[in-house]
Amino acid sequence: MGVTQQQVLDSLSKIKSPRGVALTNANVLSAVVVNDGKVFFSINVDAAEARAWESVRAQAESAVRAIPGVTTALVALTAERKPGAAPSGRAGGVKPEAAHRPPQGDTSPMSRQAEIPGVGAVIAVASGKGGVGKSTTALNLALGLRDLGLKVGLLDADIYGPSIPRLTGIHERPELNADRKMIPIKRFGLAVMSIGFLVEEEMAMIWRGPMVMSAITQMLRDVEWGTLDVLVVDMPPGTGDAQLTLAQNVPLKGAVIVSTPQDLSLIDARRGLAMFRKVDVPVLGIVENMSYFQCPHCGTRSDIFGHGGARLEAERLGVPFLGEIPLHMEIRSTSDAGNPVVESEPDGPHAAVYRAIATKVRDQLKGVVAA
Ligand code: ADP
């Protein structure tokens, strides 16, 4: 028989909250979502109390994981600041204007920018809007870094539309190790983790900002990443509060911004740049994707979108230009078939482009990454 919501609530009723009453009576629980052995809920408390609640969150997670039949338990602690309270580096919903401040008096249990043991550098791949090829770029960049001899992980944090399962052809679920940490799936020599391995897309959609943030933070920390030189994070598209909070809470060494040549997305790329600057994350550079059309039959190149805009923009903004990737059927078909082009056509021209981009990224991480 499947796990029921009542079983989860029964196990939570045995946990005492810092307020002295049972967790289930403390008026802090969100709806408990139970789906096919996977359990998700959040504990919502005031930011000032957050530290005291972290051990309760951990106890709740262990208690739920101990219920027979539970395969995954993600318990998020979301700390809301009372109106008028002093700003702090809290877990979720950070106001943009407060975001660039140093984390003074940080009451967040997920203390900002804490390193992930064993992981050399975490880098974000971001875009101002969806559909520009961010995930395709993130995966092929990860493979390019692998080809440079680095140990690479890929975390799909695009909670609103996780596409890494499709792009990698991974359909299995991660297993748990003896410490109940999730073991990333190995594919193409990469350690891969995606929220899409755990939840259906529809469920991810109903999550609210703070819960999304906490889930991603847990995916960073409750996953047995092992030793990695670089962990590439495929960010959710856009530059709203959720992205800003993520950029602020993940210990990023740098960010790569993917843009298409059209003006509109360049404006969006500029916003991405401003966002990372706000949280003091260096922008490693801009990639122009779908930069020009290369005819698959005759090889003729057509600059159908007025290519070159991203390079100029990068120069204007004083950030490195990492390279231009053509709009090509092969990139699309290999991506969508779960066999990315750097893997399936390692000697082809597209793989060379991605590897050149990876080299520029690696060079900028020198000193952080030993290779
Ligand atoms: P995003 O992560 O920005 O939403 P995706 O990486 O999922 O974008 O890409 C969107 C679609 O565009 C996918 O079908 C992908 O295969 C395709 N695509 C991405 N980059 C290219 C490219 N350079 N040439 C052709 N198709 C591409």
In a shared domain, residues 214 and 282: yes
Question: pLDDT tens digit string along 204-263?
Answer: 555 555 666 677 777 888 899 999 999 999 998 888 877 787 788 788 999 999 988 876
How many domains would you assign to the chain? 2
Residue 41, helix vs strand vs coil: strand
- In 3D space, the residue among 268, 289, 298, 285 whose CA is nearest the CA of residue 335 turns out to be 289
> How confident is the prediction for the chain on average, in pLDDT?
81
Q: What pTM does this model have? A: 0.74
In a shared domain, residues 84 and 158: no
Residue 201's pLDDT is: 53
In a shared domain, residues 295 and 353: yes
In a shared domain, residues 126 and 97: no
Does residue 101 carry a pLDDT above 70? Answer: no
d(C-alpha 330, C-alpha 294), whole Å: 10
Question: pLDDT tens digit string along 198-217?
Answer: 766 555 555 555 666 677 77
In a shared domain, residues 284 and 313: yes
Last residue of a domain, one of 54, 74, 101: 101
In a shared domain, residues 313 and 215: yes
Residue 232 makes CB contacts below 8 A (sequence gap 6+) with 123, 125, 138, 141, 142, 145, 152, 153, 154, 155
Question: pLDDT tens digit string along 158-175?
Answer: 877 789 999 999 988 888
Last residue of a domain, one of 52, 72, 101: 101
CATH number of the CATH domain containing 300: 3.40.50.300
In a shared domain, residues 348 and 204: yes
Measured distance between the N- and C-terminal CA atoms of the chain, rounded to whole angstroms? 50
In a shared domain, residues 211 and 355: yes
In a shared domain, residues 201 and 237: yes
Domain holding 129, by residue range, is 119-364
d(C-alpha 293, C-alpha 56), whole Å: 55
Does residue 339 carry a pLDDT above 80? Answer: yes
By percentage, how much of the chain surpasses pLDDT 90? 40
Mutate to test the pocket of ligand 1, among 332, 344, 350 (most ligand atoms within 8 A of CB): 332
In a shared domain, residues 91 and 143: no
Residue 205's pLDDT is: 52
In a shared domain, residues 128 and 199: yes
**112 located within any domain:** no
**Residue 140, ligand 1, Cβ within 6 A:** no
Q: Which amino acid is at 308?
A: G
Cα angle, residue 252 at apex, residues 154 and 311 outer, rounded to 5° = 85
**Residue 131, ligand 1, Cβ within 6 A:** yes
Contact 259, 278 (CB under 8 A): no
Residue 67's pLDDT is: 95
The DSSP bridge partners found for residue 42 are 76
In a shared domain, residues 75 and 204: no
Q: Atom 9 of ligand 1 has which residue's CA nearest to it?
A: 133
Question: pLDDT tens digit string along 40-85?
Answer: 888 888 777 878 888 899 999 999 999 999 988 888 777 665 444 4
